[in-house]
Amino acid sequence: MNIDAICDCILDEGSTPDALRKALNGFASLCADIGGVRPDPSFDAWADDALLASGVAINPQAAAHCVLDYQRSVTYLRGVYAAIGKLQQRFCDAPLEILYAGCGPYATLLLPLLVKFSAGELNIHLLDVHQRSLDSVERLLAQLDFSDHSVHRIQADACDYQHPRELHLVIAETMQKSLEQEPQFAVTANLAPQLLPGGVFIPQKIDITFGLADLQYARKMAQQAGRNDMKNLQRRYHIATVLSLSPETAAHQLQNASYRPVTETWELGSTTLVIPHMEGITQLDPALFTHIVVFEGYCLDDYESEITLPMKCHDLAPLTGGEHVKVSYQPGNYPRFNYELLQHAP
Ligand SMILES: C[S@@+](CC[C@H](N)C(=O)[O-])C[C@H]1O[C@@H](n2cnc3c(N)ncnc32)[C@H](O)[C@@H]1O
């Protein structure tokens, strides 16, 4: 499958899940053969990860593996394509200035789309902290015949990078489920203010909600049903939204994080929840759910991708009902949620 066919299949809303998987597998093996970085999901081994001040930048093999998170890749690519179309209408007199932060070794969320644009339409900047990823991207651009496009590579930390001009579009997918570990929050806070008025940041919104669900039952059902059917099959009780990350507010939220000397951590978005008294609560897991608005109608809901899988709050289980829990988000070198049990039910 060549890159044109891969792009057409991904953008075709009528493509079957099987065809989409084949297209993305084809893209991964094309990129691995040319770029020299093979997908490897073993990122929890932390080998070659870069431990930055604002989170972990996963190693090039693990970043390559993200392409095989199929629904994620398809939704982002369609969202990015729609956003570029909209921006070209909005800013029709000059090439679009695009920054793709955390491009990884395949620039997955933009490179397949280049077949749809002629040289001169887009001025692209691919940024990653890993030089090996940028070297891979350079080989891909040359071999896939994109050398006449204006594409620049930048080795930098997206959490403090300053672009020399205002941007029309920023794309950043530097996250795991529940915004833990990777620096999506800090990347958004640094780059979103560098957009032109009317520019677009992708993703447009990420919401993390706290709820109760039988995750074991969900896992069992996942083996029988497709992951996409999971939401409807699962018993789930929403309790509260504990964090919303949007380009408009991220920098302000981060500036207003409060320091806790006892734990020597910064905290933001602190929410106090009351766990309801309900039948069968001991069988339910406290968990965080992730919902991503990539661009307008292109969204990822729980179970639709690796980065929107529910995450069990191990520190809180088991619950009996009536507990008061303070939930806060801790940015820093390993972003994560923190839970504090304030009061137990009598
Ligand atoms: C989850 S992978 C995603 C790769 C690719 N964009 C995709 O969507 O398939 C995140 C990528 O962002 C890079 N990254 C994470 N944090 C970064 C930072 N602060 N500055 C630069 N690159 C970063 C990692 O090195 C990795 O290549």
Residues 58 and 29 in one domain: yes
Query: Has residue 343 got a pLDDT over 70?
Result: no
Residue 315, CA distances (Å) to 264, 290, 338 in order: 19, 18, 9
Residues 187 and 323 in one domain: no
Lowest mean pLDDT among 14-28, 158-172, 263-277, 293-307: 263-277
Residues 229 and 164 in one domain: no
Q: Taking all residues of the chain, what is their mean pLDDT, rounded to a whole number?
A: 92
pLDDT reported for residue 98: 98
pLDDT reported for residue 346: 39
Instruction: Look up the CATH number of the domain holding residue 110.
Output: 3.40.50.150
Q: Are strands 50-52 and 55-57 parallel, antiparallel or unpaired?
A: antiparallel
Query: Has residue 231 got a pLDDT over 70?
Result: no
Mean pLDDT of the 210-218 span: 86
pLDDT reported for residue 222: 64
Residues 188 and 216 in one domain: no
Query: Which residues, at least 6 apart from 3, have a Cβ–Cβ distance to it below 8 Å?
Result: 27, 30, 112, 115, 144
Which of 200 and 317 is assigned the larger pLDDT?
A: 200
Query: Has residue 345 got a pLDDT over 50?
Result: no
pLDDT reported for residue 217: 74
pLDDT tens-digit readout, 259-272: 988 778 899 979 99
Query: Has residue 344 got a pLDDT over 60?
Result: no
Ligand 1 pocket test target in 129, 157, 184, 333 with most atoms within 8 Å of CB: 129
Hey, whose CA ends up nearest to atom 1 of ligand 1? 174
Name every protein residue with a CB atom under 6 angstroms from any ligand 1 atom: 52, 57-58, 63, 66-67, 102-104, 108-109, 127-130, 133, 157-159, 173-174, 182-183, 187
Selection from 138, 63, 38, 151 nearest residue 100 by Cα: 151
Work out the number of other CB atoms within 10 angstroms of the CB of residue 155: 13
Ligand 1 pocket test target in 58, 160, 308 with most atoms within 8 Å of CB: 58
Residues 131 and 210 in one domain: no
| Residue that terminates a domain, selected from 181, 204, 227 | 204
Range of the domain at 143: 3-204
pLDDT reported for residue 64: 96
pLDDT reported for residue 263: 79
Phi, psi of 174 (to 5 degrees): -125, 60
Residues 44 and 143 in one domain: yes
Placement of tokens 């969202």 in the chain: 79
| Residue that terminates a domain, selected from 169, 204, 239 | 204
Residues 182 and 218 in one domain: no
Total structural domains within the chain: 2
pLDDT tens-digit readout, 159-203: 999 999 999 999 999 999 999 999 999 999 999 999 999 999 999
**Ligand 1 centroid distance, CA of 278 (Å):** 41
pLDDT tens-digit readout, 49-92: 989 999 999 999 999 999 999 999 999 999 999 999 999 999 99
The amino acid sitting at 20 is L
Query: Which residues, at least 6 apart from 228, have a Cβ–Cβ distance to it below 8 Å?
Result: 71, 303, 304
Residues 148 and 217 in one domain: no
| Residue that terminates a domain, selected from 158, 176, 204 | 204
